[in-house]
Amino acid sequence: MKNIFRTTLVILLIVTGLFIFQGQNSWVGWDDDPNIDRIPYEYFLRNQNKPVTNTQPLVLTGEDYFDNFDVAIDLAEGHISMNPVNPLNAFVTFNSGGTIGASPTITTDGGITWYKTNPSWGATMSGDPVTAFDSLGNAYFENMWGSTIIGTKISKSTTGATSWIPAVVANTGNDKNWIAADQTAGPYKSHIYSAMTNNSSCNVARSTDAGATWNVVTSLVPHNLPGAMPCVGPNGPIQGGSVYVVTNAGSSFSPVYTIFRSTDGGATFNQQSQVNFANCVGDNVGGRNSVHNMRTRPYPFISADNSYGPNRGRLYLVYASNTPAGCGNKPDIYSRYSTDFGVTWSTEVKVNDDANSENNNQWHPAMWCDKQTGRLWVQWLDTRNTPTTDSCEVYATYSDDGGATFIPNVKISTKKFRINCTSCGGGGTPAYLGDYNGIHSNGHQSMMTWADFRNGNFMSTVAFFPDYALKSRTAPDSLAAAGQTKDYFVSVPAVKLYTGNVKFSHNFTTNPANGSITVQFLNRSNNQPLDSLTTLPDSLIMRVTTAPGTSTGNFQLNLISSGTGGSIPRHKRAFNIRVHNPIGITPIGTNVPSKFDLLQNYPNPFNPVTNIKFDIAKTGIVRLAVYDVTGRVVAELVNGELHAGSYNYDYNASNLASGIYFYKLESGSYSSIKKMILVK
C-alpha cells in the first residue's frame, strides 16, 4: 500500500510539474515542431545570460595565407551589415537569449579589431538576430523577445553600432523575423521594414521615423513556414518605391513562395506571384530538411537592385533545393530574377559550379545585392572537396550581369569543418546548428559571416570577399639596443578575385620609453621607399631599425595591410621584437670614426670570452662572423644594419673546442679578417 501511494504521489508530482512548466514557459513542442526554427529550448536556457566579453579576433590563417576571423563564440545564425557611408564600419550578431540577448560584435577599423556592445532590451530575448544600416549610417538590430516569443524588439544606433538606444517593440509574431532598411535618398528614406512569422500568417511592421516607433501594417497569407523576408527596391525613378515581402507556405519539402509588393512605402501590399521552385533540401529527418543531421530548409532569400546600373530594379530570389528533386538527394543553390516587380521569373540558374554536383551538398545560402554596383553576392556551405560529404567549406560567388551568370566559385573558409557538430551543444534530431548565415557589401567588397564548427563549437566567423593573401615571417626576433636592423619580406602571394592595391602601415602595441624603433617599407628590388603594392602577387621589404640607446624589452609590432584607399580588405600580422643589451655588442662613445677598422681580439689566446672591437665609418649592413680553419661559419655575431660608430663585442666561445679560429668583419666594400686562438 505504501509503495502504491508513493508511486501515485510521484506520478502526480511529475504531471503537476509538467503542467506548471508548460504554463510558465509554453515551450513544449518548441524543439520538435518542424515548422518552428527557434533555438532549442535547453540551449536557450543554458546560454540565456551568457556574459558579454570583449576579446580581439583570432586570425585563422590558412596554408594559402588567406584569413578568416574568429570574432566570438555564440549560438550560430550570424547576420552582418556594412555601413554604406563608412566602409570600415560593420557589425555582426549571432544567436543568444535571456535578459542580455544577442550582443553585436562591431568593427570600426575594417576588421582589424572587433568588440561587443550590448543593447538595452528591457525584456527576455529569444534569438534570431538580424541587422541593417540605413542610408545615413544608422544601425538597426532586431531580435525576437519574450520567453514565449510574442514579437520582436529593435534597437537603433547612431554611432555605427558602437552604442545603442534602448530597444522598442517592432513586430508581433511567434517565429523567424527579417528586417530591411531603405538605403536610398528617396521619399521613404526613413522607413525600416520587418517581416515575422505569426503562426499561419506573416506580420509586416514598418517604422516611418527611422526606427523610433513601429506599427504592424498588414498580415500576409499564405505563410505557415518560417522565412518571410522583406527587401527594398526602386519603382522606376523612385528610389525605395518598391517594398517586397516573400512568404513561405505549404510543405517543408515543397514550399510555396508568395511575392508581395508595396508602392506606397509599405502601407499596403499586393500579391505579385506565387511560385513553387524549391523541394527538399537534403533528407527528411523528423519532418525537417536535414544535411548530415544539420537542420536546414529552403528559405526564400530576396534582394533588389537599387543601383543606377543596367539591371536597376531587378528582383532576385535565391534558395537551396535538391537536384534531382526529392528527399534523399543532394541540394544545389539556385538563383532567379524578375524584371517586372516579381510578377514573372526567369529560369533557374545554378549558382554552384562544381562538377558532378549531384554528388555534393550545397545549402544554407545567403545573398545581398549592392546598392552602388548592383552586384549580386551569394554565399553557402559546400561539401565538394569532401568525398564522404560529412564535412564542408564556405563558398561564395557574385554576378555582375543581373543574375544571368556567376563568376567561378571561390572557397572562403580556411579549413574544413564537420557538419554534424556533436560537441557544439545545439541538440535535436536533426541538430540545431543554425538556420542561416549572412553576407553584405559596400561597393565591390563584401564581408560574410557563418557559424564554423572546426573547433567543436559555434565559432562566429567573418571573412572578406574578394580578398588577398598576406605572407610574412612572424617568428620572434631580437634587435640590439645599440642600434640594429632586421629586414622582413612581406608578400601578397595570391588573390581571390581582388584587383585593387594593397597599402601597408604599422603600429606598436607599446613603444620603448627611450630611443625608438622605426619601420620603413622598401621596394624589394632597389630598396627605394614603397608602402603599396600595385600589381599582385608581389612583395616588399619591411625594414625594422632600433636607434642607439633604445630601451630594452619586448615590443609587438603590428603590420597592417589595407585595400585601395586604406579600405577593406584589411589584415594584420604581429611581430614580437625583443630589444636587448646582451653580453655581445655595445657602442663605445658617440664619435663617428673616420674609417672602418677591425682590431685584434683581447685577450688572445682566450678561454672562453674575448673582446672584439671594430669601427664602422658609415651606417649600413654589417656582418661579423667567426670561422673555423675549414672556413665553416661557427658563429654569426652581427648581421644587420649598424649606425656609424665604434663597438665592442664580448664573444663567448664556450660551445667551441680549443683551436685556431678566424673572425671577419664586412660592411659594403670593406672586409677584414683576424686570427684568434681558443685554449681550454
Nearest alpha carbon to residue 366 among 296, 306, 424, 307: 296
In the chain, DSSP finds a helix count (H) and a strand count (E) of: 2, 52
DSSP E strand stretches across 383-516: 391-399, 410-411, 417-418, 438-442, 445-452, 459-465, 467-468, 471-472, 477-480, 484-492, 495-496, 502-508
DSSP tag of 602: B
One-letter amino acid for residue 94 of the chain: F
Shared domain check, 181 and 77: yes
Mean pLDDT of 11-27: 36
Cell of 556: 609587438
Q: What is the share, in percent, of the chain residues with pLDDT greater than 90? A: 75
Shared domain check, 294 and 219: yes
Supply the pLDDT for residue 375: 98
Window from 239-253, 258-272, 567-581 with minimum mean pLDDT:
567-581
In a domain, 353, yes or no: no
Mean pLDDT of 258-271: 98
In a domain, 460, yes or no: yes
Give the domain range for residue 627. Answer: 585-678
Window from 264-273, 312-321, 419-428 with minimum mean pLDDT:
419-428
Alpha-carbon gap, residue 229 to 367, rounded angstroms: 12
Window from 103-112, 342-351, 369-378 with minimum mean pLDDT:
103-112
Looking at per-residue confidence, does 528 or 459 come out higher? 459
Shared domain check, 172 and 252: yes
Q: How confident is the model at residue 74 (pLDDT cuts 50, 70, 90)?
A: confident
Task: Examine the pLDDT at 320 and tell me if it is beyond 90.
Answer: yes
One-letter amino acid for residue 502 of the chain: V
Task: Examine the pLDDT at 634 and tell me if it is beyond 60.
Answer: yes
Residues in the chain, how many? 680
Mean pLDDT of 412-428: 92
Supply the pLDDT for residue 679: 96
Which of 580, 599, 622 marks a domain boundary?
580
Task: Examine the pLDDT at 176 and tell me if it is beyond 90.
Answer: yes
Residue 568 sits in a domain of what CATH number?
2.60.40.10
In a domain, 330, yes or no: no
Mean pLDDT of 214-230: 97
Q: What is the share, in percent, of the chain residues with pLDDT greater than 70? A: 90
The number of domains in the chain is 4
Supply the pLDDT for residue 544: 92
First to last CA, the chain: 97
DSSP code string of 20-66: HHHHHH--TTTTT-TT--PPPHHHHHHHTTPPP---PPEEEE-TTS-
Supply the pLDDT for residue 392: 98
Residue 448 sits in a domain of what CATH number?
2.120.10
The string of pLDDT tens digits covering residues 158-167 is 999 999 999 9
Alpha-carbon gap, residue 472 to 575, rounded angstroms: 9
Supply the pLDDT for residue 98: 60
Task: Examine the pLDDT at 5 and tell me if it is beyond 90.
Answer: no
Looking at per-residue confidence, does 15 or 494 come out higher? 494
Task: Examine the pLDDT at 9 and tell me if it is beyond 80.
Answer: no
Supply the pLDDT for residue 39: 61
Residue pair 170/194 in contact (Cβ under 8 Å)? The answer is yes
Shared domain check, 219 and 114: yes
Long-range contacts of the stretch 24-33 (C-beta < 8 A, 24+)? 25/147, 25/148, 26/147, 26/148, 27/147, 27/148, 31/427, 31/428, 31/432, 32/286
Task: Examine the pLDDT at 27 and tell me if it is beyond 60.
Answer: no
In a domain, 327, yes or no: no
Tell me if the pTM is above 0.75. Answer: yes
In a domain, 338, yes or no: no
Mean pLDDT (the chain) is: 89
Supply the pLDDT for residue 484: 79
101-135 as b/e: b if 16+ CB within 10 A:
bbbbbbbbebbbebbbbebebebbbbbbbbbbbbb
Q: How confident is the model at residue 638 (pLDDT cuts 50, 70, 90)?
A: confident
In a domain, 332, yes or no: no
Supply the pLDDT for residue 553: 84
Shared domain check, 520 and 503: yes
Residue 626 sits in a domain of what CATH number?
2.60.40.1930
Q: How confident is the model at residue 201 (pLDDT cuts 50, 70, 90)?
A: very high
Which of 535, 562, 580 marks a domain boundary?
580
Supply the pLDDT for residue 31: 54
Shared domain check, 67 and 167: yes
Q: How confident is the model at residue 52 (pLDDT cuts 50, 70, 90)?
A: very low
Task: Examine the pLDDT at 8 and tell me if it is beyond 70.
Answer: no
Window from 4-13, 89-98, 286-295, 644-653 with minimum mean pLDDT:
4-13
Shared domain check, 608 and 567: no
Supply the pLDDT for residue 12: 39
Shared domain check, 46 and 25: no
Shared domain check, 295 and 262: yes
Alpha-carbon gap, residue 414 to 67, rounded angstroms: 7
DSSP code string of 503-523: EEEEEESS--SSS-EEEEEEE
Q: How confident is the model at residue 241 (pLDDT cuts 50, 70, 90)?
A: very high
Which of 465, 481, 496 marks a domain boundary?
465
Task: Examine the pLDDT at 559 and tell me if it is beyond 90.
Answer: yes
Shared domain check, 524 and 546: yes
In a domain, 341, yes or no: no
One-letter amino acid for residue 397 of the chain: T
The string of pLDDT tens digits covering residues 526-544 is 878 799 999 999 999 999 9
Alpha-carbon gap, residue 524 to 641, rounded angstroms: 16
Supply the pLDDT for residue 2: 36
In a domain, 361, yes or no: no
Shared domain check, 273 and 161: yes
Task: Examine the pLDDT at 257 and tell me if it is beyond 90.
Answer: yes
Task: Examine the pLDDT at 428 and tell me if it is beyond 90.
Answer: no
The string of pLDDT tens digits covering residues 120-175 is 999 988 889 999 999 999 999 999 999 889 999 999 999 999 999 999 999 999 99
What are the C-alpha distances in Å from 166 to residues 139, 141, 150, 157, 213? 13, 11, 18, 9, 12
Shared domain check, 299 and 417: yes
